[in-house]
Amino acid sequence: MSTPLDYLYQGGTLLTLSVYGIPFFSARGITQSLTPIREAANRQALPRTINGQLFNLVPSIFLKYSTQIEGKDQAGPSRDMLWPGALIQVGCVATLSYPVGLPGAPGRGVVTGSSVTSNGFVTYRPILNCMVMTFDDKIEEWPHEYSWKLELEEV
């Protein structure tokens, strides 16, 4: 039975993208960021009273992530027919964590085998159902370095 580490040693990555996948040698230097979507980070939805008390008026339906995934390797990602608006399920490289016993946690699906408990916290790689917002590919011909960026938002 193979493990996620076996896959890494074969030149792969922990990142998964449904439908499109990740070809070998396209993601060895991968980075991923998770940030709140624009609507969740709206400062106008976090007003202060005349007494300086801060309130959160962001509806819970907007508590979603935006993610940016970048890679630089010898090959490009699988993106033929991948256009803004496409739906993808992302098995993240980035991790989330929560205290053991927190009601309602985890807040997202968990990539199989990624959950680790240590010192009272559970750390896991989330599964995000996303829509492609934009992408960018670039290749440098002589060194044959292929860099790419994929920007997605949770649906």
> What is the strand order of the sheet 121-124 is part of?
96-99, 121-124, 116-118
Burial class (CB in 10 A: 0-12, 13-18, 19+), 3: exposed
Q: pLDDT tens across 43-79, in order?
A: 788 889 999 999 888 889 999 999 999 998 888 778 8
User: Within 13 Å of residue 5, how many CA atoms lie on the same side as its CB?
Assistant: 0
User: Within 13 Å of residue 75, how many CA atoms lie on the same side as its CB?
Assistant: 12
pLDDT classification of 3: cutoffs 50, 70, 90: low
With CA atoms as reference, report the closest residue to 121 among 93, 104, 140, 102: 102
pLDDT at 93 over 90: yes
Q: pLDDT tens across 126-140, in order?
A: 999 999 999 998 988
Token digits of residue 13: 């990555």
* DSSP letter assigned to residue 56: -
Q: The whole model's pTM is what?
A: 0.85
